Amino acid sequence: MDALLSFKKNKYLILNKHLPFLIIISCGFWCVFEVINIRIQNWFYINLPSDIYQRYTGYFLAYGTVIPAIYVTKEFINSIIGEINYNAASRFSCGANHLEVSLEVPASGIIKTKPIRIRNYPAYSIMLGVITILLTCLFPVYFFPLTWVFLALILDGYNYLKGYASFIEDFQKGFMSNFIGTALSGLICGVLWEMWNFWSVSKWVYTVPFFEDIKLFEMPFPGYIGFLVFSFEVVTFLNFIEGMLIRRRSAILIVLSCFVFSVFSFVMIDRHTVFSYSTKVEGLSFIEKGKINHFVAKGVKTSYGIDKKLLDNSERDSINLLHLKGMGMANFLKLQKHGIKNINDLSMLDDRTLSNILNEGNLSRIRVYVKAAKHAADSKY
């Protein structure tokens, strides 16, 4: 999308020398939701790299795509709709280098409606945003969807109060194209993210209350509404950043804050959100040593590169259990200690029993594995 836009605008929006700074800001932004997830427990990670440097690099680059993806998708859509003119640029200094960030300002719109005005909008919007995040943290089972709206309310109200670009300003002028482009960008990116995640080895798995069995890819169907709303949090954050980038000190503070907060979040993610790590071939104790040496000689790095045809029945049962929804070696060994040797054995357990065996208090996660085991056992027989 950025390449296609460059033909029209003669410049890249994200594929330029400033991309590392945008990645840092994006990573810090997304980590806000990772920290909130520690409370709401809506997703967890499986089969992540066991090497901490590789894992943290993965976090940084993966979370660093969030803002660039929605930003450039929105601009691509807006270029089609015809509302946005690239007529604003903010500059800030970071060290000895100047970083120019071009953020668009609504100029004219072909999609217009009757102007919408809300008296005392900043006060109401910020207050409502604070209430929503409090409800989310206090009653996560029922109010977890508010995670994807609170920040947009707070930031849009603040942006309007400070004179930064905001959606309510667009509405007051009767412009709707930016609103539509933002919503569509969230949906497009959300569908792509979920599609790519579905077939990945290292991935996230959802445990959303009430919607665990109604899914498109790994995401429950209602969750795609969350992507629509989440895109507004991204854009209001971008509008906030644009307003803050006027001053040099603010720019440096933003970058440093995002970096430090990201590192803190990575530690918390490892502690609370990661369920399993990928298993190196050398760590597969249930496979005969000669076969392990053969796999290593062939360049196989993890258990997912093994040719199951070379395994005997017992070894195949073990590796299938290891790979069931990314069970992981640590959890596999706990099961083995309690006499659970294959998926069929696991399918006989109830939620509480498996919770005790794995020492996992989150029953939503446990249900993922019980259901997966029952489904696999039923499919086999």
Last residue of a domain, one of 241, 272, 303: 272
* Together in a domain, 339 and 217: no
Does pTM surpass 0.95? no
Answer yes or no: do 267 and 287 share one domain: no
* Secondary structure E strands in 47-134: 84-85, 90-94, 97-101, 105-106
DSSP string, 292-340: HHHHHHTT--BGGG--GGGS-HHHHHHHHHHHGGG--HHHHHHHHHTT-
Do 24 and 133 have their domain in common?
yes
Give the structural domain span for 93: 2-272
pLDDT in the model for residue 9? 82
Does 260 lie in the same domain as 158? yes
Tell me: do 131 and 18 sit in the same domain. yes
**Maximum pairwise Cα distance, the chain:** 75
Same domain? 16 vs 155? yes
| Same-domain status, 268 and 309 | no
Whole-number pLDDT of residue 107: 42
Number of domains in the chain: 2
Q: Do 244 and 294 sit in the same domain of this protein?
A: no
Same domain for 53 and 154, yes or no, is: yes
Same domain for 370 and 242, yes or no, is no
Q: Which of 237, 272, 307 delimits the end of a domain?
A: 272
Task: Examine the pLDDT at 153 and tell me if it is beyond 70.
Answer: yes
Q: Are 64 and 187 members of one domain?
A: yes
Rounded CA-CA distance 220/224 in Å is 8
- Residue range 311-324, pLDDT digits in tens: 999 999 999 999 99
104 shares its domain with 220: yes
- Copy the structure tokens of residue 91: 């500059």
Please state, in angstroms and rounded to a whole number, the distance separating the CA atoms of residues 115 and 342.
63
CA distances from 377 to 370, 372, 381 (A): 11, 9, 6
- Give the Cα separation of 49 and 265 in Å (integer): 17
Whether the pLDDT of residue 331 is over 90: the answer is yes
Backbone φ and ψ of 112, nearest 5° = -125, 155
Domain boundary among 220, 240, 272: 272
